[in-house]
Amino acid sequence: MNINKNIYESPLVGLLLAMNSGAIDAYTFLQHGQVFVGLQTGNFILLGMSLSKLAGFKSLRYLFSILMFALGVVFIKHLQASRYKERNIKRIILIIDVILLIIVGILANILSDIFIVGLLAIAAAAQFQEFKLMNGNPFNPLMMTGNLRKLLDNFYSFLRFKNVKSRRIAIDTCLVLFCFILGSLIMGLLTNVFDKYAIFLNVLIIFSVLLITNKN
């Protein structure tokens, strides 16, 4: 495994991406109509609940987030199939994310909630589709249910079978969960002060990832 790839799979990068995911979902939920852009399972539940109450117009915001997330995944799949090297694709995705976040931050009080959700859903999908490994192990910066299962599974394997690799994975996964919660916690505090402009926290996080991987 080359050093370039290791940079993008480093724990620091993974934990920053997990923090970004927690923060971005907290942001759209608190500031833009209680919609998620990464946790699409939550949107499916909210969509079903809205439909059960015949709230058709309200349902559109959940559906739009789901569709834009899907569009983001397809776009990244197309990029992955291109002639670009893997490390270049990762950097392109990070730059795209920063641009989308800056646009949202600057136009936070101008753009409609549904449009902002759409832009951020694309950013979340891009991150989800491309960044899949941390320390050489499967990594998910968005879906914490799977991470919780992985934590418990590996923690049990370590306690029962003294598996050293399972201990490392359990520690990494625990840190991912912590950083995800930390991101949402900080965002919750910042929105009380900066309102919709709190999204610049995510700009700082992704820009930090760009600086860390710049040695690439």
d(CA 66, CA 36): 9
Radius of gyration of the chain (CA): 18
Distance CA 70, CA 122 (A): 8
CA–CA gap between residue 64 and residue 108 (Å, rounded):
18
At residue 57, the pLDDT reads 82
Indicate the burial class of 180 (C-beta count within 10 angstroms; 0-12, 13-18, 19 or more). buried
Token pair for residue 212?
């860390």
pLDDT the model gives residue 3: 40
* Number of C-beta neighbours around residue 85 at 10 A: 10
Q: Do the Cβ atoms of 177 and 144 come closer than 8 Å?
A: yes
pTM score of the predicted model: 0.92
Residue 112 to residues 33, 38, 47, 77, 141, Cα–Cα distance (Å): 10, 19, 19, 28, 27
pLDDT for the residue numbered 102: 97
Number of folded domains that form the chain:
1
Range of 169's domain?
A: 3-215
Residue 88, φ and ψ in degrees, nearest 5 = -70, -40
pLDDT at 4: 44
Q: Is the pLDDT of residue 131 over 50?
A: yes
| CATH code where residue 90 lies | 1.20.1250
50-81 pLDDT per residue, tens = 999 988 888 999 999 999 999 999 999 999 88
Summarize pLDDT for 74-113 with one digit per residue, the tens: 999 999 888 778 788 999 999 999 999 999 999 999 999 9
Task: Give, for 125, the enclosing helix (H) or strand (E).
Answer: helix 113-130
For residue 30, count other CB atoms closer than 10 A to its CB.
Answer: 18
